[in-house]
């Protein structure tokens, strides 16, 4: 079946450093990708998305990079802060006959050390 996976289950970074979270996807037909942040006890929160006609998209302190050749997605967080500590999920959109379906990766835990 289709799957989205993450390379690193846990990432520890020093406050102020940049973080990079990676994700591999398997469906070459996927054309929409989302990164979510989930803090403890809360639902996933949208961070940033990217469509397949783009290689890079920037938000506030976050950048998503898409490499369609190797089917790889990454989330870069600049100047990581303690409030960035959370689980990060990538999601790949599959366009089904009936509508859209997101397939989520397993998640990466980001721990920010002060």
Partner 1 sequence: GAGVSQSPSNKVTEKGKDVELRCDPISGHTALYWYRQSLGQGLEFLIYFQGNSAPDKSGLPSDRFSAERTGGSVSTLTIQRTQQEDSAVYLCASSDDRGRGETQYFGPGTRLLVL
- Footprint of partner 1 on this chain (CB under 8 A)? 31-32, 34, 36, 42-46, 49, 51, 89, 93, 95-107
In the bound state with partner 1, the residue whose beta carbon lies nearer, of 42 and 60, is: 42
Minimum distance from residue 25 beta carbon to partner 1 (Å): 13
Minimum distance from residue 94 beta carbon to partner 1 (Å): 9
Minimum distance from residue 7 beta carbon to partner 1 (Å): 15
In the bound state with partner 1, the residue whose beta carbon lies nearer, of 46 and 67, is: 46
In the bound state with partner 1, the residue whose beta carbon lies nearer, of 7 and 101, is: 101
Contact criterion met (CB below 8 Å) for 82 and 114: yes
In the bound state with partner 1, the residue whose beta carbon lies nearer, of 5 and 16, is: 5
List the one residue out of 51, 80, 79, 76 whose CA is nearest residue 64: 76
* Cα–Cα dist 77/11, whole Å: 12
Minimum distance from residue 39 beta carbon to partner 1 (Å): 11
């Amino acid at each position: 079946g289709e799957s989205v996976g993450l390379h690193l289950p846990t990432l520890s970074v020093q406050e102020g450093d940049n973080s990079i979270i990676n994700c591999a996807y398997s469906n070459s037909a996927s054309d929409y990708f989302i990164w979510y942040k989930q803090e403890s006890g809360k639902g996933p929160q949208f961070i940033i998305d990217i469509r397949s006609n783009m290689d890079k998209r920037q938000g506030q302190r976050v950048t998503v990079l898409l490499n369609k050749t190797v089917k790889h997605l990454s989330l870069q967080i600049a100047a990581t802060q303690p409030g960035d500590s959370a689980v990060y999920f990538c999601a790949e959109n599959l366009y089904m006959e009936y509508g859209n379906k997101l397939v989520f990766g397993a998640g990466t835990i980001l721990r920010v050390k002060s």
